[in-house]
Amino acid sequence: MLTPVIDPDGAPFWQYAAQGELRIQACADCGELRFPPRPCCPHCQSFGTTWRKVGGRGRVWSYVVAHPPLLPDYAEQAPYNVVVVELADAPRIRLVGNLVSRPGAPLNSLSPDRVRIGARVQVVFSDDGLPQWVLERP
């Protein structure tokens, strides 16, 4: 199992994900969302932070299908997709992840020919609290 590297700024993202919630860091002063998490708001330079719950629906904004040569842990799962998802209720926020057939399914569980730019997707969470994406209409 490949696990995320968690830094102090991003730790709340993973804590909420472990509870099955997708939350995005927001500025406590001006309200702007930002991702990936970082200490300072790029709009107003505030260090105040809150975590806003988002709906978890989005569209595939871009993707790649990975093939070897890859690091050994990844090579055995190839070919698999890596998607960039634009959130429906926060269109400037884009998250990188994998489109899978069902929650907790392996990286290669969805055939690469099922992935399309613009496809509507919904966040799901693996048993390990890893956000993944599934097609709204499989």
Q: Which residues bind Zn ion (CB under 5 A)?
A: 27, 29-30, 32, 41, 43-44, 46
* Beta carbon nearer to Zn ion, 66 or 90: 90
- Does residue 3 sit in helix, strand or coil? coil
* Beta carbon nearer to Zn ion, 30 or 64: 30
Min separation Cβ 59 and Zn ion, Å:
26
Min separation Cβ 55 and Zn ion, Å:
22
Residues 6+ apart with CB under 8 A from 112: 65, 79, 80, 81
Q: Phi, psi (5° rounding) for residue 12?
A: -60, -35
* Beta carbon nearer to Zn ion, 30 or 75: 30
Q: Beginning with the edge strand found earlier in the chain, give each strand of the sheet holding 49-53 in spatial order.
A: 33-34, 23-27, 49-53
Min separation Cβ 112 and Zn ion, Å:
39
